[in-house]
Amino acid sequence: MTFKELGLDDTLIKAVEALGFETPSPIQEKTIPVLLEGNRDYVGLAQTGTGKTAAFGLPLIQQIDVDYRAIQGLVLCPTRELCLQITKEMKSYSKYKEGVNIVAVYGGANISDQIRDIKKGANIIVGTPGRTIDLMGRKVLKFDTVSTVVLDEADEMLNMGFKEDITEILEATPAFKHTWLFSATMPREVERIAQNYMENPHTVTIGTKNSTAANIEHQYCLVSGRDQYHALRRFIDFSPGMFGLVFCRTRRDAKEFADKLMADGYNADALHGDLSQAQRDSVMNKFRNRTLQVLVATDVAARGIDVDDITHVFHVDLPDEIESYTHRAGRTARAGKSGISVALVSPSKAGRIKLVEKQISKKMELVKAPTGNDICGQQIVQLIQTVHDVEINTKGIAPYLDKINEELSNFSKEELIQRFVSVEFNRFLKTYEKAGDINLEPRGSRRGDDRGERDDRRSGRREDRMSEGSQNSKRVFINVGKLDGFENKGQILGFICNQSGIDGNSVGKIDLFDSFAFLGVEDGVGEKLIQAMNGKNIEKREIRVEFSQDKPRGESRDSREPRSEYRGGSRSSSGGDRNRGDRDRGPKKNYSSSNSGGANARNFRERRPR
């Protein structure tokens, strides 16, 4: 099907061709011919990003009689953002049809300018309900000549409390007009508007009612509340080309998540209700032109954000109103592209997943937050790809080549590769070198739902097992403790298992102190640990593991000063202290038992290079 076959005029076809639209999208195919007939009310159930602006915009422009200098079309939409966007799109569709004058009216902008533009002879008004009512009150806007009213994102407008404004506006339009209503979801209030203000509407549904685009992968990841940020970071790092939107339920969370991301070196910012319009515009511009890679927003602030090419939508907790999920997820996979929507939820709230699944009529896939290994693997692939693809500016670097050659002549090819890769890659290695598995199991499964408790419970169970059955158990000392970031026994166990490859079940009682720990181990395991761990480093400090005959008598008087016989590596040296100081300044770390399998790689596709 072509745009011509849909019945559009040549001027409009020329405009869509200039925009690079090759074929009509499904909603355009189903909608444009119906609306061009001009004799029906219409309901279109479609998500944002499906091409619905053109689906109503092109027929609306085609219907405009440019010789009749009066308002003939009114488009109502929920937010200033969307208002500006629709106006921009429609202006580009009408580029080759002379005499079409589209004016946007929205709050937070100079009303006198808008009045002046309307008075110049508007024939299409695109407005938010509040400002439209305001201008009606000032007698600047009169709708008695309007033949078509479009209600775009009707569900959002009602959600935002515009029901009375919409009713008032509709009542100011003539009885002969036609109403075209677009909505992503069909809650009862929207149905009521359709019943009360529309006559036998032609209804088109793209996908299923309330559904999101077919090309969105809906996923959820079970992590504890305190690991939501870590999980988010891992997903971001795992997808080097991602361009994402993170939804938070509260302004405070949005601000906190954005601040943390910025502190960790990401191009991120927050969009929430505490910002002034100017700040909001500045953040949105940065996001639109990709200066920001990640925008963290509240549901309310993100209304009307229609930015193309968003690859990922993250949900820090599911929204209070389950229907908002559809809107959130619909910010990705626009214009026929694909996208991923990932909800980061704690197992205790996982019951809400079912509600979302019901809402979108689709299953959500349980995925794991990528492990450090997954991320580093992915990043290195990306780095190598970038090196492969980089355009060499031979002329530009020529003047420096002699100097470069002189400086690097002593390195072998292998060393050079290692050094150049390290420049980019050390950051990831450092961040994830001790990162364990932060994924939790669904509630009711063996592992429970709070990692800290779970780990302690698990080691508790292990203690029982060891004291019951394993008379031959030995104790092993390791010069790593709470000051290295291990908050509980489960975390240090995870680290040890990850580093040494031993099975966690072969470790029994764990005594965790500030700067060292003791582990009860089954026969043969101590030797394995000693062999695997000795010589490894933690924050540049050498790890020391050895058999201990002593029963720990509790922590030494000053917990930062272990008993001398347990001092290990260089921790007690100034170098060790310096390292510890660095750790303390860094972000709080979480360690857990590691699952370094690459399962996540299956769940995330590679994205565009940065």
| Contact (CB, 8 A) for 382 and 239 | no
- In whole angstroms, the minimum distance from the beta carbon of 28 to ligand AMP comes to 6
**CA 44 – CA 30 distance, rounded (Å):** 9
Whichever of 54 and 343 has its CB closer to ligand AMP, that residue is 54
The answer to whether the beta carbons of residues 360 and 238 sit under 8 Å apart is: no
CB of 3 or CB of 428, closer to ligand AMP: 3
State the nearest-atom distance from the C-beta of 11 to ligand AMP, in Å.
17
Least gap, CB of 79 to ligand AMP (angstroms): 13
Structure tokens belonging to residue 161: 């409390």
Taking the least distance from each CB to ligand AMP, the nearer of 20 and 396 is 20
Please tell me the distance from the alpha carbon of residue 247 to that of residue 457, in angstroms, as a whole number.
Answer: 33
**Shortest distance (Å) from residue 62 CB to ligand AMP:** 16
Angle CA 426–429–432, to nearest 5? 145
Placement of tokens 């565009």 in the chain: 608
Nearer to ligand AMP, 23 or 386 (CB): 23
29 vs 237, beta carbon nearer ligand AMP? 29
Terminal C-alpha separation, the chain: 35
CA–CA distances in Å: residue 434 to residues 187, 368, 511? 48, 17, 20
Toward ligand AMP, which CB reaches closer, 199 or 308? 308
Which residues face 475 on adjacent strands?
520, 548
Residue among 90 and 345 whose Cβ is closer to ligand AMP: 90
Please state the closest distance from residue 532 (CB atom) to ligand AMP, in A: 54
Which residues of the shown chain bind ligand AMP in the complex (CB under 6 A)? 21, 24-25, 28, 48-54, 89, 306, 308, 334-335
Please identify, using beta-carbon distances, which residue of 84 and 343 lies nearer to ligand AMP. Answer: 84
Rounded least distance, CB 256 to ligand AMP, Å: 31
- Dist. CA 340–CA 311, nearest whole Å: 6
- Minimal distance, residue 308 CB to ligand AMP, in Å: 5
Q: What are phi and psi for residue 284, nearest 5 degrees?
A: -65, -40
Rounded to a whole number of angstroms, the minimum distance from the CB of residue 374 to ligand AMP is: 32
Compute the distance between CA of residue 462 and CA of residue 315 in angstroms, rounded to an integer: 36
Task: Return the amino acid letter for 346.
Answer: S
CA atoms within 13 A on the CB side of 98: 0
Shortest reach from residue 48's CB to ligand AMP, in Å: 5
Contact, 244 vs 234, CB < 8 A?
Answer: no
Q: Do residues 228 and 344 lie in contact, with contact meaning Cβ atoms separated by under 8 Å? A: yes
- The structure tokens listed for 363 are 């299953």
CB of 82 to ligand AMP, least distance (A): 9
**Residue 466 host element (H or E):** helix 451-469
Query: What is the C-alpha to C-alpha distance for residues 478 and 519, in angstroms, rounded to an integer?
Result: 8
Tokens found for residue 132: 């439209």
CB 282 within 8 A of CB 350: no
Q: Are 102 and 71 in contact (CB under 8 A)?
A: no
What's the min distance (Å) between Cβ of 334 and ligand AMP? 5
Residues 544 and 537 sit within 8 Å (Cβ to Cβ): no
**By C-alpha distance, which of 147, 197, 186, 173 is closest to 35?**
147
Q: CB nearer to ligand AMP: give 89 or 374.
A: 89
Question: Least CB distance from residue 183 to ligand AMP, whole Å?
Answer: 13
Q: Which is nearer to ligand AMP, 38 or 336 (CB)?
A: 336
- The Cα–Cα gap between 79 and 157 comes to 8
Distance CA 156, CA 330 (A): 13
Measured from the CB atom, is 47 or 179 closer to ligand AMP?
47
Nearest Cα to Cα of residue 369 among 467, 436, 443: 436
Residue whose CB is less far from ligand AMP, 46 or 353: 46
